Amino acid sequence: QGNLSHEVISGAAAFEGFKLFENHQRREGKQVSHGTAKEILVGLATAEAEKLIEKKGLGTHEGERAKHATRQNAEWMYEQYNNGDQYNPSSQGP
C-alpha cells in the first residue's frame, strides 16, 4: 500500500499543479520560457503533494518518495505537453 499511496499522490499532485499553472497562464494570456514554466509547474505540483501527504498522513520516507515522484511526473507531463522554447497554453485546448 505504501508504494501505491506515494504513486497516487504524486500523479494527482502533478496533474493538479499542471492544471493550476495552465489555468493561470490562460487567464493572464502570457507565455513563459521553457525553464521558468517547468520550475513553476514543479513548485505548484510539489505544494499539492505536500497537501495530500499531510491529508493522508504519510510518514517522512513515503512523503519524500511522493514529492520526488511528483517532481518527475510534473516534468514528464510538461515535456509531453509542450514543444518549443515558449509555453503558451492559449495555443492549445484544455
CA distance 90 to 94: 9
Residue 68 lies in a domain: yes
Within a domain: residue 26?
A: yes
In a domain, 14, yes or no: yes
Q: Tell me if 48 is assigned to some domain.
A: yes
Tell me: the pLDDT tens digits for 15-53? 787 788 778 877 888 776 677 777 887 888 888 888 888
Number of separate domains in the chain? 1
Residue-range definition of the domain harbouring residue 20: 3-81
Cα 51 from Cα 65, distance rounded (Å): 14
3-state helix, strand, coil in the chain (%, to 5): 80, 5, 15
Residue 13 has pLDDT above 70, yes or no: yes
| Mean pLDDT, residues 79-91 | 65
Kindly state whether residue 87 falls inside one of the protein's structural domains: no
Domain presence at residue 75: yes
- How far apart are alpha carbons 43 and 57 in whole angstroms? 21
Q: pTM above the 0.75 mark?
A: no
